Amino acid sequence: MSLKKILIYCNGKKWLVDKDLKMFSTHFGNVEIPQLDKDIEISEINQKKFYFLKPSIAEFILKIKRKTQIIYPKDVAVILFYSDLKETDNVIEAGTGSGSLLIGILSRVKKGKIITIEKNEEFKKIAEKNIKDFFGEIPENLQFVKGDVYDINFKLDINDEWADKIFFDLPEPWRAKDLLKYLKKGGILVNYNPQIIQIKKFIEEIEGFIDINVFEILERKWIVDEKRARPSDLMRGHTGFIMMGRKVK
């Protein structure tokens, strides 16, 4: 499995580009792209140093191709750790979107199975491409399901209480609450929404969950150099709210 993308870094700027490209143009000049067998290559163009690196998962998902809103790395990181996602977990995710959270899930779950559900074929294809670009292939433990989880006739070909973890990133998650029958007792539900009223309605509509927590993650970057040590002027003020709960009934 090998990454199909390369990260180019110069003067605080980063680009994620196809390894197959020979040349990449930046406002610093044209950059020849090396075939990155090593972990790092460096070249100098117009007295600027360009570093060619293998992207980390956070660098990768920040720059993935997308036609949907994605879950940002700061939130993905917390979701993966707080949900105690394990190598052997069976997971259900709805909807797939551009695959940002899914790439995070795939980086953890290696022996368990992941079912990801998306109703939009175009978004599924984008997610597939992003996953192939990062992992080099579609991992065998991943199953894409095309379907509308709001449809009362929607079913998965698995037993009830199959999943250790369920992840929702849907505009109206309460309309997908029937899927929660697939979560084991003791299993963890994670629901992500940009608006708190979505979270509130979902909590009001689900039953059999305890220890429901709702929170958001604020990441404030600081500028630290020879002259300054202070918060950056700009901040991504809001991404979304994370809601988690434990199924007991």
Ligand X SMILES: C[S@@+](CC[C@H](N)C(=O)[O-])C[C@H]1O[C@@H](n2cnc3c(N)ncnc32)[C@H](O)[C@@H]1O
Buried b (16+ CB within 10 A) or exposed e, 95-119: bbbbbbbbbbbbebbeebbbbbbbb
90 vs 193 by CB, closer to ligand X: 193
CA 177 to chain CA centroid, nearest Å: 22
Identify which of residues 19 and 66 has a Cβ nearer to ligand X in the complex.
Answer: 66
Minimum CB distance to ligand X, residue 157 (Å): 16
Q: Which residues of 200-222 are buried (b: 16+ CB within 10 A; e: fewer)?
A: ebbbeebeebeeeebeeeeeeee
Minimum distance from CB of 123 to ligand X (Å)? 4
Which CB atom, from 53 or from 57, has the smaller least distance to ligand X? 57
Which is closer to ligand X, CB of 114 or CB of 117? 117
Measured between alpha carbons, how far is 157 from 17 in angstroms, rounded to an integer? 38
Q: How far is the CB of 49 from ligand X (least distance, A)?
A: 33
Nearer to ligand X among residue 53 and residue 63 (C-beta)? 63
Q: Which residues bind ligand X (CB under 6 A)?
A: 68-71, 94-95, 97-101, 117-120, 123, 148-150, 169-171
Cβ atoms 249, 205 nearer than 8 A: no
What is each CA distance from 33 to 19, 126, 134, 152, 162, in whole angstroms? 7, 24, 18, 50, 46
What's the min distance (Å) between Cβ of 10 and ligand X? 28
The sign one gets for the Cα dihedral 87, 72, 75, 204 is negative
Distance CA 39, CA 35 (A): 11
Minimum CB distance to ligand X smaller for 52 or for 167 = 167
Q: How far is the CB of 37 from ligand X (least distance, A)?
A: 30
Q: How far is the CB of 135 from ligand X (least distance, A)?
A: 15
